[in-house]
Amino acid sequence: MNKAFVKETDTDDADEDEIAAPALPVGSKNYMTPAGYAQLDAEFNQLWKVERPKLVETISWAASNGDRSENGDYIYGKKRLREVDRRIRFLSRRLEHAEVVDPATREDTDQVFFGATVTVADRDGSESSYVIVGIDEADAGRGRIAWISPMARALLKAREGDSVSVQTPEGRREVEIVEVRYQAIV
């Protein structure tokens, strides 16, 4: 069958962003730090105000060239536009349900809450620091863990000096909370 008569669909990978991004627990808020909110908002604005208008312009130009079935600019442009629109919808929902919590304005406490920078010590004495952030800001390589992660859930509401146990892929891990601080996250 000729490609010109085949209907393009955007349902093939319509939920790709939702699959790739961690889901929020049912009924919970989408907690974010101000830096995390600003990062998602900047991406949203870049896509909505810059990239999408350029794509629409390219697609319009390509469509005016005639036969769309063999027009690479048109076919790629439409595919990319679907990807951009999907990401815009995803970001829009995340930002709409965001609850921004600034750890820098939190009163000093030795209890672990969202936004805390927590230093823990393993039984062997090695120390690690984690910052508890929103699910869209998590980056384990930089020590930023999502508040819904097993480690963060074990740490939440504990205090300095407490020992907590967390299930990891390597098995049960016991850690002691050495320090809890609240500071601006960049």
Among residues 183, 186, 159, 164, the alpha carbon closest in space to that of 175 is found at 164
Is the residue at 10 inside a domain?
no
Whether the pLDDT of residue 72 is over 90: the answer is no
**Which of 74, 100, 126 delimits the end of a domain?**
100
Position 14 scores a pLDDT of 46
Per-chain mean pLDDT for the chain: 87
CA 113 to chain centre: 19
Is the residue at 43 inside a domain?
yes
Q: Is residue 108 domain-shared with residue 175, that is, in the same domain?
A: yes
Q: Is residue 122 domain-shared with residue 94, that is, in the same domain?
A: no
Largest CA distance in the chain: 71
Q: Is residue 75 domain-shared with residue 119, that is, in the same domain?
A: no
Q: Using CA atoms, how far apart are residues 176 and 122, in angstroms rounded to an integer?
A: 7
Pairwise pLDDT comparison (131 vs 108), residue with the higher score: 131
Q: Is residue 52 domain-shared with residue 81, that is, in the same domain?
A: yes
CA distances from 92 to 12, 15, 22, 45 (A): 21, 14, 16, 10
Q: Give the range of the structural domain holding residue 95, as residue numbers without chain letter.
A: 29-100
Position 9 scores a pLDDT of 52
Q: Is residue 79 domain-shared with residue 116, that is, in the same domain?
A: no
Is the residue at 2 inside a domain?
no
Which residues in the chain belong to E strands, given as ranges?
30-32, 98-100, 116-122, 127-133, 144-146, 163-168, 171-182
pTM of the shown model: 0.80
Position 80 scores a pLDDT of 96
Average pLDDT over residues 155-176: 92
Whether the pLDDT of residue 16 is over 80: the answer is no
Number of folded domains in the chain? 2
CA 17 to chain centre: 10
Q: Report the CATH number at residue 76.
A: 1.10.287.180
Pairwise pLDDT comparison (109 vs 21), residue with the higher score: 109
Q: Using CA atoms, how far apart are residues 136 and 32, in angstroms rounded to an integer?
A: 8
CA distances from 184 to 29, 36, 102, 181 (A): 21, 11, 7, 10
**Which of 73, 100, 127 delimits the end of a domain?**
100
Q: Is residue 119 domain-shared with residue 177, that is, in the same domain?
A: yes
Share of the chain above pLDDT 70, in %: 89
Q: Is residue 169 domain-shared with residue 133, that is, in the same domain?
A: yes
Name the amino acid, one letter, at 56: V
Q: Report the CATH number at residue 150.
A: 3.10.50.30
Q: Is residue 119 domain-shared with residue 96, that is, in the same domain?
A: no
